[in-house]
């Protein structure tokens, strides 16, 4: 194993960061982690050579950039990889400055804003005849009221910038059933300074959601990988908890078109959902960074983080690579918790629940060769459970 490789500077150590850490670490790349949440379990991976707690990139952007540069100067030239939306925004906006210290694995801001701000993503989809759900972006409560005759309930209230919405509401989107709920969620969003969109619901189960993963360069897809989501956390509106590698040719051309329209370079994951009413795949979102199920492609033979690293550092252009089909990625804790919670409403058979575990698979967190993140993750969950139970008990005592 080559052991004199230049370092990868990862920003944030949550599950996405952990996947990228393992993908690069197993190839001998030294990993220097910069995290801004003390609960990030990725910082406990054996592949981390150094880790630093830094300011939050969205809340304290100037201090964040300053510390990133200081760490870069300390360890020498390497590849800077943001693995969260808020980190990608801060790095992208300051890419020209950061490029003096790192090879930056992030698009320029004029490209980044096209996928970070979903209103631009859907506008590009419309302009390029890529099917997408009907979407309106109100600028005021008056706009919401004027749009009511165009909206079929239930509908979704979705953020223009997902990471800001999740930070405030703890959800990627909110389903509303009537005018009153819609206005209430809109007012909460407006008061928090969040721009939102009103969007039709694409009718379909969790397994109607699919991913087009690709490494793009100069308008061309160099490496492509497709996968199907099997279960989400929570069902319908959540992040994937089980994903299956699978050839899905219907979405390849659509994925290419949206990334070409963005003039995208690097790695991206484009999410589509098949509308059961029309049997047409519709665009959900574009993630222009390494995604939650990064380790699935790696397990199947395509190490996107390492391809990205080598291209930026050594100008090694990735080439088309075959990959294994029928392999599962499992977020083990989310799958356990949500399978138990939604056991009656999901109505999967025991065989369907267990199938990913006895077939070829890779876990999001657990790894025999890198156990500490999994141990820390379960301890973190246990502390949360104890805290919730304690608060409920104290609440009941106070009522009594």
Cβ(337)–Cβ(233) under 8 Å?
A: yes
Question: CA–CA separation, 191 vs 346, rounded Å?
Answer: 35
Distance of CA 205 to CAs 159, 273, 274, Å?
22, 9, 9
Q: What is the DSSP annotation of 247-305?
A: --GGGHHHHHHHHHHTT--EEEEEEEEEETTTTEEEEEEEE-S--TTHHHHHHHT--HH
* pTM > 0.85: yes
Domains in the chain (CATH in brackets) are: 8-108 (3.40.50.720), 134-199 (3.30.1490), 206-359 (3.30.470.20)
Provide the 10 A C-beta neighbour count for residue 52.
16
Q: How confident is the prediction along the chain (400 residues), in pLDDT tens digits per residue?
A: 445 799 999 999 889 999 999 999 999 999 999 999 988 999 999 999 999 999 999 999 999 999 999 999 999 999 999 999 999 999 999 999 999 999 999 999 999 999 999 989 999 999 999 999 988 888 888 888 888 877 788 889 988 887 788 888 888 888 899 989 999 999 999 899 988 889 899 999 999 999 999 999 999 999 999 999 999 999 988 899 999 999 999 999 999 999 999 999 999 999 999 999 999 999 999 999 999 999 999 999 999 999 999 999 999 999 998 999 999 999 999 999 999 999 989 989 999 999 999 999 999 999 999 999 999 999 988 888 888 777 777 666 666 5
Question: CA–CA separation, 214 vs 324, rounded Å?
Answer: 16
3-state helix, strand, coil in the chain (%, to 5): 45, 25, 35
Output the CA angle 7-10-14, nearest 5 degrees: 145
Q: What is the DSSP annotation of 341-355?
A: HTHHHH---HHHHHH
């Amino acid at each position: 194993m080559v052991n004199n490789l230049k370092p990868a500077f990862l920003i944030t150590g949550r599950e996405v960061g952990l996947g990228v850490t393992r993908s690069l670490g197993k190839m001998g790349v030294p990993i220097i982690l910069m995290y801004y949440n003390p609960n990030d379990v990725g910082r406990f991976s054996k592949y981390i050579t150094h880790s630093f707690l830094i300011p939050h990139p969205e809340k304290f952007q100037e201090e964040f950039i300053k510390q990133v540069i200081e760490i870069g100067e300390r360890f020498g030239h390497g590849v800077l990889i943001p693995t969260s939306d808020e980190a990608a925004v801060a790095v992208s906006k300051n890419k020209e400055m950061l490029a003096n210290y790192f090879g930056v694995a992030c698009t320029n801001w004029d490209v980044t804003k096209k996928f970070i701000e979903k209103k631009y993503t859907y506008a590009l989809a419309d302009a390029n005849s890529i099917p997408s759900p009907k979407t309106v972006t109100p600028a005021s409560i008056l706009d919401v009221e004027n749009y009511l005759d165009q909206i079929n309930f239930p509908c979704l209230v979705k953020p223009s910038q997902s990471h800001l919405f999740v930070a405030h509401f703890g959800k990627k989107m909110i389903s509303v059933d009537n005018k009153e709920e819609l206005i209430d969620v809109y007012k909460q969003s407006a008061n928090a300074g969040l721009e939102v969109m009103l969007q039709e619901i694409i009718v379909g189960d969790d397994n109607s959601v699919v991913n087009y993963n690709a490494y793009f360069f100069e308008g061309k897809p160099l490496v492509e990988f497709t996968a199907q989501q099997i279960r989400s956390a929570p069902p319908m509106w959540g992040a994937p908890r089980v994903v299956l590698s699978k050839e899905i040719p219907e979405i390849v051309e659509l994925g290419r078109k949206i990334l070409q329209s963005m003039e995208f370079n690097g790695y991206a994951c484009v999410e589509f959902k098949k509308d059961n009413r029309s049997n047409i795949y519709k665009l959900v979102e574009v993630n222009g960074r390494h995604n939650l199920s990064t380790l699935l492609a790696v397990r199947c033979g395509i190490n996107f983080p390492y391809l990205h690293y080598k291209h930026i550092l050594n100008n090694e252009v990735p080439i088309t690579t075959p990959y294994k089909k029928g392999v599962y990625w499992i977020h083990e804790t989310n799958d356990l918790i949500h399978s138990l919670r939604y056991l009656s409403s999901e109505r999967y058979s025991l065989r369907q629940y267990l199938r990913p575990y006895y077939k070829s698979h890779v876990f999001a967190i657990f790894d025999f060769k890198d156990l500490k993140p999994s141990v820390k993750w379960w301890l973190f969950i246990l502390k949360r459970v104890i805290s919730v139970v304690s608060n409920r008990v104290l609440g009941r005592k106070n009522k009594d």
